[in-house]
Amino acid sequence: MIIWVFTFVLIFILYPFYIRLLYKLKAWKTLRDDATSWWKAKIFNELHKKKAWTPTMWWALILFVTMLVILWTFVLNKIWYIKYSLLNQRETYIILFAFFSMWILWLIDDYLNIKWIWKVKGLTAKMKLVWMFLFSAFIAYWFYFKLNVNYLIFWNEKVYIWFFYFIFTFFFTIVLVNAVNITDWLDGLAGGIIAMILIALWVMTFFQHWYLATTVIAIITATLIAFLWYNINPAKVFMWDSGSLAFGWLIASIIYLLGIKLWIWTIIIPLLLIILVEFFSSFLQIFSKKVFKRKLFNIAPFHHNLEYKGYKEYTIVMKLWLVQAVLTSVSMIIFFYQIMLK
């Protein structure tokens, strides 16, 4: 909790200066003009065009502060002030890898997009897809080969599924990463939902005795809540791909760390319900257009469909926040009930 407060205060103080710097550098996204982009729809031109000049690259600050705090614990450990640093192979390596690798990759994408280096508007969709598959495969590899997790737990009995565990974690990571990414694009929507999910996972890892992972989650949650202060409508800074994709990998890694247990999924599914609805509304829309040559919804994903029906952006965000709060509460009730049964 001390580290959480320290991180939050530090980054909250730095944010106004950093946002002014981003405006001075004109660090805003260049909107792509391709037919597959959702912003080609009329709804974007009417409701979101003014957001084109809101800066991105907020991750550079988050990256710096998170690294600073983690290295601080490493130094304190070396001088024998604290027993453990936050660099631990079993608990935190995969979480930090999932988070920092995506940061770095999409910081490159943001920078290319902003500066148009070599007339390139960021990384292409195919390049992103390749990296997405590679990173998801690495996470699956880490748990299957490095941590020797190759089973599911049903009613306290281990059921070994061997290589199917690798396949399952690979595809689930792909779904979750895209789900978080698709949930973005309304001011504060993804940030608020992810914050509640991370707080729930923060509590769960603590009661599962993953204390170092708990502290890393606390640091990242502190940076996210500070970001939300400036991301609520009208947003002064955006999350964009660099944030949403990194959070997708982070959440997936924490879930695998908790263990693939039957009762865990009774907690995880309601916790992730909104972002999964966002993902499958978009997936089914694309599938229907490709196969049946017609749309299921006026526009996808789900939150843009609500906009199409006339709901104000801040109304959608606040109501989905409330729904997420209820779902998070349900997940926590189930979690503590399972602990009591043990």
- Per-residue pLDDT 10s for the chain (342 aa) are 888 999 999 999 998 898 888 888 776 665 444 433 444 455 555 556 666 667 776 677 888 888 889 888 888 888 877 778 888 777 888 888 877 777 677 667 766 766 654 455 556 667 777 877 888 888 888 877 777 777 666 656 666 777 777 888 888 888 998 898 888 878 889 899 999 999 999 999 998 888 999 999 999 999 999 989 988 878 787 776 667 778 888 898 888 888 756 566 678 889 999 999 999 999 999 999 888 888 888 888 898 888 888 888 889 999 999 999 999 999 999 888 878 876
The pLDDT score that the predictor gives to residue 275 is 94
Using CA atoms, how far apart are residues 35 and 45, in angstroms rounded to an integer? 14
Q: Could you tell me if 249 and 99 are in contact, meaning their C-beta atoms sit under 8 angstroms apart?
A: yes
CA-closest candidate to residue 75, choices 66, 84, 62: 84
Ramachandran region, residue 119 (left: φ > 0; alpha: ψ -120 to 50; beta: rest): left
Residue 192: count of CB within 10 angstroms of its CB = 22
Using CA atoms, how far apart are residues 301 and 38, in angstroms rounded to an integer? 9
Using CA atoms, how far apart are residues 65 and 136, in angstroms rounded to an integer? 25
Residue 77: exposure state from Cβ atoms within 10 A (0-12, 13-18, ≥19): middle
CA-closest candidate to residue 92, choices 260, 220, 229, 213: 213
* Token pair belonging to 195: 């914050």
Using CA atoms, how far apart are residues 327 and 273, in angstroms rounded to an integer? 8
The pLDDT score that the predictor gives to residue 298 is 84
Residue 145: strand, helix, or coil:
helix
Contacts of 255 (CB under 8 A, 6+ apart): 201, 264, 268
Using CA atoms, how far apart are residues 61 and 77, in angstroms rounded to an integer? 25
Q: Could you tell me if 175 and 306 are in contact, meaning their C-beta atoms sit under 8 angstroms apart?
A: no
The HSE-up count of residue 26 (CA atoms within 13 Å, CB side) is: 5
Using CA atoms, how far apart are residues 26 and 45, in angstroms rounded to an integer? 21
pTM value is 0.86
CA 152 to chain centre: 25
The pLDDT score that the predictor gives to residue 133 is 82
